[in-house]
Structure 1
Amino acid sequence: MEDRKLTVRAVDRALDILLCFTRNSDLGLTEISSQIGLHKSTVHRLLTTLEEKGFLIRNAATEKYRLGIRIWELSMHLPAFDESAALLLPAMERLRDRLGETVSLYLRDGIERVRIQAVQSQQAIRRVAQIGARLPLSVGASSKVLAAYAPPEVLAELLEGPGWPSSIEREVYRTQLKEIIRQGYATSFEEREPGAAAVAVPVTGRSGNVVAALSLSGPVSRLSQETLVEYAAVLGEAASEMGMMIP
């Protein structure tokens, strides 16, 4: 019985920590400890667990926490989609209607990306994007955008990890990331799926940090390199609009 009480108390405290982020997007250990009335050592242990499970993300530079990608993943199963993601739909739908291809939004989770929102093309031949799908950061336009703006330690884990594809030269990949930062977009041709092409741009939140990747994808028969470069500018405009809605 005692173990059960302790477990419930720990869950209650962890939820109290998550609820702190209904009022602020970034909080430090001292702030959280003060808000929920617990000692810093106790809060730190809970924060570590929540970070390991993906419910919180810690900024190594500021030592502050913010909500993690697991919150987005849970929201995918709500009857009504998460309000934050719903706010982005109009801009994505306008982009789809203007360019005629599937539009997706991705967040980075460690060395993977997760599709948190998608608007499907209405053309007969189209690329169908499943919300909630997890994909590696090694291939694809959105992957390379998220990797290009990832912290150095994340990039090192990606490149040196056992899951790195032997078919991709690491130095070539590093060069691609530098070029993406310089030009502001990434393209891909059949890197992950035969017959599919994509272009992606970074989405910068109000904090000034790159928080997501916005992509447009479709069949290579409609998306040439020249077309993707042309569409990159249009995506950039949409990403600027969407970034104002993201903390």
Structure 2
Amino acid sequence: MKDEEQIDRSVAAVDRTLSLLEAFLGEPGVRSLSDLEERTGLFKSVILRYMLSLETRGFVHKEQSGTYRLGVKAVQLGRAFESSVDLASTLQPVVERLSEKTGNSASVYVRDGEWRVCLVRAEPERDVRVAIRAGTRRPMDKSASSLAFKRFERKTVQVFAASGVAGIASSAGVGDPLLASMAAPLFGIDNAFVGVLTLSGVIGHFHVDDEKVRSLLFDAALAASALLGATCNEGAGE
């Protein structure tokens, strides 16, 4: 029983440490003890003990005013994560799962000047489908993917999260009279726009007003953004 209690205390200590670091996510800037207390639910006396250790290890820095900001070690961790993220390999499983769940073609597009380029692609196991290969370049037109670029590439993940499924762009018969698609934005580190996640199919088999499919795309876009380093659960803002 004693060993179990020690393990429980260790896990609780890790949870408290991580919650204090997570309190710096969202709005940039310093945090007061009151801010940290409000964001974590911990008592100030507890916070002070943990902040001493975090300060010693370089994860936070205490200002002369008594407020705290993230330290050099936290910045180094962020840079290490950023350099380790491979966009294509991270998003390939995302499009494969989405294609399997919906039975439609799933893609990720990124911007290349005035073009959008298919970065990764997954096709359903069916005869009637939209066949586009990764690496295909398409113009910025009135398709769902292009509309999602225009709508969100100067926004943040919080704006998309607040919009819900209403933020998903859709189109039918653009470029090809037989095809329809819907698209949602993707965000990464610093909640910056990365590209768009798109579902597409043949009109008659794929319905852009299908609320279940729109919800699956919305959830997949937020989950993928979190994988890329975005913080999706903060309050909405420009």
TM-score normalised to structure 2 length: 0.53
Which amino acid letter does the alignment assign opposite residue 221 of structure 2? A
Secondary structure at the aligned position of 1:193 is classed as coil
Distance, in Å, in 1 between the alignment partners of 2:219 and 2:194 is: 16
For the pair 1:185 / 2:188, whether they are aligned, the reply is no
For the pair 1:219 / 2:202, whether they are aligned, the reply is yes
**Which of 92, 105, 110 lines up with 1:107 in the alignment?**
110
Alignment correspondent of 1:243: 225
**Which of 76, 84, 88 lines up with 1:85 in the alignment?**
88
Alignment correspondent of 2:213: 231
Aligned residue pairs total 138
Give CA-to-partner distance per residue, 1:121-154, whole Å, 9 cap, x none. Answer: 21111111211111111221001101112459xx
Secondary structure at the aligned position of 1:90 is classed as helix
* Deviation beyond 6 Å, 4+ runs, structure 1: none
Give CA-to-partner distance per residue, 1:169-193, whole Å, 9 cap, x none. Answer: xxxxxxxxxxx99921111101111
TM-score normalised to structure 1 length: 0.51
Secondary structure at the aligned position of 2:190 is classed as coil
For the pair 1:198 / 2:181, whether they are aligned, the reply is yes
TM-aligned CA deviation for residue 99 of structure 1: 0.4
TM-aligned CA deviation for residue 90 of structure 1: 1.8
User: What are the ranges of 5 or more consecutive residues in structure 2 without an aligned counterpart?
Assistant: 1-84, 156-162, 230-238
Secondary structure at the aligned position of 1:129 is classed as coil
Secondary structure at the aligned position of 1:224 is classed as coil
Distance, in Å, in 1 between the alignment partners of 2:101 and 2:154 is: 34
TM-aligned CA deviation for residue 83 of structure 1: 4.2
CA contact under 8 A between 1:121 and 1:127: conserved in structure 2?
A: no
Distance, in Å, in 1 between the alignment partners of 2:176 and 2:146 is: 14
Which amino acid letter does the alignment assign opposite residue 117 of structure 1? V
Larger of the two Rg values belongs to structure: 2
Which amino acid letter does the alignment assign opposite residue 224 of structure 2? M
Which residues of 2 match residues 49-68 of structure 1 at below 5 A?
A: none
Distance, in Å, in 1 between the alignment partners of 2:209 and 2:167 is: 15
Alignment correspondent of 1:208: 191
Q: Give the 3 Å change call, closer, same or farther, for CA 134–239 of structure 1 in structure 2.
A: same
Distance, in Å, in 2 between the alignment partners of 1:182 and 1:122 is: 26
Secondary structure at the aligned position of 2:121 is classed as strand
Which amino acid letter does the alignment assign opposite residue 190 of structure 1? G
Which amino acid letter does the alignment assign opposite residue 98 of structure 1? K
Secondary structure at the aligned position of 1:122 is classed as coil
Distance, in Å, in 2 between the alignment partners of 1:245 and 1:125 is: 31
Which amino acid letter does the alignment assign opposite residue 173 of structure 2? E
Distance, in Å, in 1 between the alignment partners of 2:223 and 2:149 is: 19
Alignment correspondent of 2:123: 120
For the pair 1:149 / 2:161, whether they are aligned, the reply is no
Q: Percent identity?
A: 27
Aligned-residue RMSD, C-alpha = 2.3
User: What are the ranges of 5 or more consecutive residues in structure 1 without an aligned counterpart?
Assistant: 1-81, 153-179
